[in-house]
Amino acid sequence: MDIAGLVYKISDAALAIDYGRKGFAIRGKAEEGRISYETGISLALSAFRDVSNFQFASTNDPQAIILIEYTFINQELQFCDEADTDSKNSLTEAIQRFVWKAGEPRQYNKFPYQR
């Protein structure tokens, strides 16, 4: 699978996880929510496993792994509940750590390879 496919896969995973979380809170949707949550976790693990397999590791391209992690964290932040300030702060801090290099100003809303 190419990197674009992995980014798509990780975005789907984050969406399924979010749908599952919301399903847990709705009466009568707990089972559907659990299935969606488990599917999302499975997709995310599969994407992380795919990106770390020999195909990408042999090219010595750590940007593929960074891009997948960055995409997942960014999606989690997008779906984060507004009232959950601890999670929002934690995810925002994680994203800032991805896009900052020593000696450069922080650039937000850009993938690390787009500087």
The pLDDT of residue 3 is above 80? no
Q: How much is the pTM?
A: 0.66
Ranked by mean pLDDT, the top range of 25-29, 38-42, 64-68, 111-115 is: 38-42
How far is Cα 3 from Cα 63, in angstroms, rounded to an integer? 10
How far is Cα 90 from Cα 70, in angstroms, rounded to an integer? 13
- The reported pLDDT for the residue numbered 60 is 52
How far is Cα 7 from Cα 70, in angstroms, rounded to an integer? 10
How far is Cα 32 from Cα 1, in angstroms, rounded to an integer? 29
Chain CA centroid to CA 40, Å: 11
Higher pLDDT, 57 or 20: 20
